[in-house]
Amino acid sequence: MLSSHKVSNGPDAIGAVPVEVAFLPDAKPPLAYINNMLSGTLWTAMWQADRKAFHFSG
């Protein structure tokens, strides 16, 4: 595992189960969509080159 990230705005991650990740080809900056089962949410992960890490928002 390279890293783990919470994909829920609630106090815990119960009900947020990431099932699909789709990276957008040629996106500048790199961007991924994360589809969460059970919670019915869609999150984005945008690459931040200065931090060398993804920023997650939902």
The whole-model pTM stands at 0.77
Q: What are 19-48's pLDDT values in tens digits?
A: 899 999 999 999 999 998 888 888 999 999
Is residue 8 predicted with pLDDT exceeding 90? no
Q: How far apart are CA 9 and CA 27, in angstroms?
A: 26
Q: List the structure tokens of 6.
A: 């919470």
Those residues with Cβ within 8 angstroms of residue 16's Cβ, 6 or more apart along the chain or in another chain: 6, 7, 8, 10, 36, 38, 39, 41
Matching residue, tokens 């993804």:
54
